[in-house]
């Protein structure tokens, strides 16, 4: 599975060596779930559930495996006390995931992953612009359905907070502190208050340099958050939405394709959509990250030849990460709004109840 044996051996060694302690669970097995699985992965001690869409055939989605592996420490060994402190689970896990990816594939590739994460975070910050309380790391969920409040904020803002602390004291000192953190809270739950108290004891110089309260209890992203930097990111930005030459595009990783497709105007011209698909066969991609990024552009641009493939994808997968943007793209455009309703009526029974609820809300939001 996606070079799984070697990946787990290498990734596990890096997880132990970089931020954390020796692997505490003896075994780490992977189970591919049915296509209706609504999430990319779900961590469980010794057995991680994964969506089958990760089997892209090009090892490009191994960061998800790295993420679930990292949960063996943060989430399974050290746990947040409640959903209001969810960032203690996911922020730490994203931090470890990216340390593993950087060790396996290099800092340039890791910077691309960070850029994707920041894009997703900015999108969710905009989504909650009228609910800034839901952009805090420590949330107050009394009377709020946690599914309604779910976003990339605890993942990506949590990651940026930890990177800010790391920059304040240096990688070596921060990594050593993380090992002490895992030891201190092993097989325990903790709150954000517990973390702040631990941080003041273990890294007082970080507290002196970083506005911890702004990160944990303030809305949005405080000034000075770390930004991803790489020559590959710069090259995509220089295209400014124009078509890449074939030699450049053929050398791109799937993550670079995703970032490029996200940068295209909405809607893009019929000529642009036709040229992209003709030159690079995006509609035929077997990598769902690239495929869905392309199909969203195509749907929002009224590119009719892509519609049959969108119907195929909506019938084949149940992962909300893919369903939500595709249904949104169809429902936003009046010509394809009826198709969104028809697809949901046809496919609904095959989706997880959580996914059904999410897509219901998406269609209502756009009047479909």
Q: Which residues are catalytic, by number?
A: 68, 155
Ramachandran bin of 107, using left for φ above 0, alpha for ψ from -120 to 50, beta for the remaining angles: alpha
As a whole number of angstroms, the distance between CA 262 and CA 85 comes to 31
Task: Answer yes or no: are the C-beta atoms of 90 and 158 closer than 8 Å.
Answer: yes
What are the distances in angstroms from CA 172 to CA 165, 228, 328?
12, 20, 44
Task: Answer yes or no: are the C-beta atoms of 293 and 257 closer than 8 Å.
Answer: yes
For 265-302, b/e burial (b = at least 16 CB within 10 A) is eebbeeebbeebbeebebbebebbbbbbbbbbbbbbbb
What are the distances in angstroms from CA 312 to CA 58, 103, 292?
21, 37, 12
Cα 360 to the center of its chain, rounded Å: 22
């Amino acid at each position: 599975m996606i070079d799984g044996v070697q990946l787990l051996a290498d990734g596990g060694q890096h997880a132990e060596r970089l931020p954390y302690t020796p692997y505490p669970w003896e075994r780490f097995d992977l189970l591919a779930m049915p296509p209706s699985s609504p999430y990319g992965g779900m961590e469980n001690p010794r057995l991680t559930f994964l969506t089958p869409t990760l089997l892209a055939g090009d090892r490009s989605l191994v960061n998800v495996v790295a993420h679930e592996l990292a949960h063996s420490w943060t989430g399974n060994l050290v746990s947040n006390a409640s959903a209001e402190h969810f960032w203690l689970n996911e922020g730490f896990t994203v931090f470890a995931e990216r340390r593993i990816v950087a060790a396996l594939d290099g800092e340039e590739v890791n910077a691309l992953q960070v850029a994707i994460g920041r894009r997703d975070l900015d999108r969710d910050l905009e989504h909650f612009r009228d609910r800034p309380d839901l952009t805090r790391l420590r949330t107050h969920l009394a009377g709020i359905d946690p599914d309604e409040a779910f976003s990339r904020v605890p993942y990506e803002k949590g990651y940026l907070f930890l990177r800010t602390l790391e920059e304040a004291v240096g990688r070596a000192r921060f990594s050593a502190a993380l090992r002490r953190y895992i030891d201190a809270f092993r097989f325990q739950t903790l709150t954000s208050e517990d973390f702040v108290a631990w941080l003041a004891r273990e890294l007082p110089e970080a507290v002196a340099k970083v506005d911890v309260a702004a990160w944990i209890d303030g809305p949005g992203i405080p000034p000075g958050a770390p930004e991803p930097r790489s020559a590959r990111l710069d090259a995509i930005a220089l295209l400014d939405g124009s078509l890449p030459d074939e030699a450049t595009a053929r050398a791109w990783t799937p993550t670079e394709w995703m970032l490029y497709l996200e940068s295209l105007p909405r809607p893009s011209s019929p000529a642009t959509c036709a040229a992209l698909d003709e030159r690079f066969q995006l509609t035929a991609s077997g990598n769902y990250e690239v495929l869905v990024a392309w199909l969203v552009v195509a749907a929002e641009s009224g590119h009719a030849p892509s519609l049959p493939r969108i119907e195929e994808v909506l019938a084949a997968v149940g992962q909300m990460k893919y369903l939500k943007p595709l249904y949104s793209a169809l429902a936003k455009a009046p010509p394809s709004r009826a198709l969104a309703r028809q697809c949901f009526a046809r496919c609904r029974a095959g989706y997880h109840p959580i996914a059904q609820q999410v897509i219901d809300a998406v269609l209502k939001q756009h009047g479909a």
